[in-house]
Amino acid sequence: MKGIKPIYRAKILAELKNGKGHSAADIAGLVHCARRTASFVLQTMHADGLIYISSYIRHNQMGRSTVYFRMGPGVDVKKPKTMSVSERVRKSRRLRSPEAKDFQQARINQLRRKIKIDPLTAAFFGVTK
């Protein structure tokens, strides 16, 4: 296990021995390390066969899921189908409230708006874009 501090590996293995699945965010909080470090260590341990993917839990309506790991040589759970970017955008637009849609349209209209300059002001200060 190249590049992993032994203290992190030992702490993570101790946390995963209780049989409950943990995500990278859970491990980062329990071991007191960065989330990125915990994710890297978990992926490395998974590649070495020390842990397996026990479940994927969807945590929001947009189809994103979190990976949970468990200790041992188990069989990885099949990854759920992911949504494409266009599907996610369509779904988020459907879920928006009417007020949010009106606000978005007002922003678009404001960007299209052409500023009119008073002729007297243009005569004094010149026309600028």
Tell me: the pLDDT tens digits for 61-95?
Answer: 666 788 889 888 888 888 888 778 898 888 888 88
* Residue 46: pLDDT over 70: yes
pLDDT grade for 108, boundaries at 50, 70 and 90: very high
6-71: CATH number = 1.10.10.10
pLDDT grade for 97, boundaries at 50, 70 and 90: very high
Rounded (5°) CA angle 52-77-67: 65
Longest Cα separation, the chain: 81
pLDDT at 1: 47
SS3 helix, strand, coil % of the chain, rounded to 5?
A: 50, 10, 35
Residues of the chain with CATH 1.10.10.10: 6-71
Contact 47, 2 (CB under 8 A): no
Q: Is 28 left (phi over 0), alpha (psi -120 to 50) or beta?
A: alpha
**pTM over cut 0.75:** no
Average pLDDT of the segment spanning 32-60: 86
